[in-house]
Amino acid sequence: MERLWGKMMSLYGRQWEASYGHVDGEAFMDWNEALQSVKLDDIARGVQAIIDEANDFPPNLIKFLRMCRKPVVHASHKVFKPEKRLTHKDPGAAERHFKAARELLGPFKRKERENDGNDSIGY
């Protein structure tokens, strides 16, 4: 933990000292307690995130804990890449499908209102 504190002092200088004090202070004890269950690789990830972020101000404990976590990649964040490009052997197929869809949606066509000064379109 002293090593992390020294790294933060070298990154932020007096700002770190003014915000969190020295290794014998209360903030050090709080950080030490909170980081007990965090693996060294995760702490290194947090320090690298601080460097990458290049923020002028030191993070608070909660933010640093977040920076230590492995990023979660949700399926919605992945870029869709189709395996192969879909092509139709019948070039008229798409037009027939659109025509059928238009016929099905016929009763739902938009109706334009008489222009009463309002440019909105009613349904």
* Mean pLDDT, the chain cut into blocks of 10 residues (123 residues total): 93 94 93 95 95 93 94 71 67 81 73 54 49
Q: What is the dihedral of CA 92, 97, 99, 103, to 10 degrees?
A: 160
44 within some domain: yes
Distance of CA 104 to the CA centre of its chain: 40
43 within some domain: yes
CA dist 49 and 108 (Å) reads 53
How many structural domains comprise the chain?
Answer: 1
Cα 105 to Cα 110, 115, 120: the distances in Å are 10, 25, 21
pLDDT for the residue numbered 98: 81
Domain residue limits at 34: 2-68
19 contact partners, CB below 8 Å, separation of at least 6 = 12, 27, 58
pLDDT for the residue numbered 9: 94
pLDDT for the residue numbered 121: 52
pLDDT for the residue numbered 123: 46
